[in-house]
Amino acid sequence: PLGRRLAASPQVYREYPFSVLLSAAPYLPALEKGETIMVQGVLDCLFREGNGWVLLDYKTDHLDTAAAFKARYRVQLDLYKRAVEQIRHESVSNVYIYSFYLQQIIPFTV
C-alpha cells in the first residue's frame, strides 16, 4: 500500500540533501534559551500526499523488533520531520521506516 501511495504522488524526492537550523531546546535543554543547532542529512524518500508530505527512511540494521527501530531512530526522524516542515513550509503527515532486515514498514509517530 505505501508503494502505491508513493507511485501515485505528484512529487517524489529521493536522496534529498538538506541543511537547516532548528531550535536546540527539545534536544539540548541545558543550552541557553534561543540557541539553535545545525542539522544536516539526506532523506531517503520524501513524497507529497494531499496537502502534506510523507517521509520514508530505509534502514538496514539487524534489529529484532519494530519497537527497537522506533527507539533507536526516534530523535533522527523527529529532526528530519521538523527539518522538512521548516524547509517546505508544509506539514509532514506520516513518517515511516522501512526495515530491510524485517522486510516491514514501520509507522512512526513523532
Q: Whole-number mean pLDDT of the chain?
A: 94
Q: Is residue 2 very low, low, confident or very high in pLDDT (cuts 50, 70, 90)?
A: very high
* Spatial contact of 18 and 83, defined as CB atoms under 8 Å apart: yes
How is residue 83 written as a grid cell? 527539518
pLDDT at residue 82 greater than cutoff 80: yes
Q: Is residue 38 very low, low, confident or very high in pLDDT (cuts 50, 70, 90)?
A: very high
Letter for the amino acid at 6?
Answer: L
Give the span between the Cα atoms of 77 and 95, in whole angstroms. 8
pLDDT at residue 28 greater than cutoff 90: no
pLDDT tens for residues 56-74? Answer: 999 999 999 999 999 999 9
Mean pLDDT in residue range 78-96: 95
Give the span between the Cα atoms of 56 and 44, in whole angstroms. 6
Q: Tell me, what's the pLDDT at 27? A: 84
* Spatial contact of 63 and 99, defined as CB atoms under 8 Å apart: yes
Mean pLDDT in residue range 39-50: 96
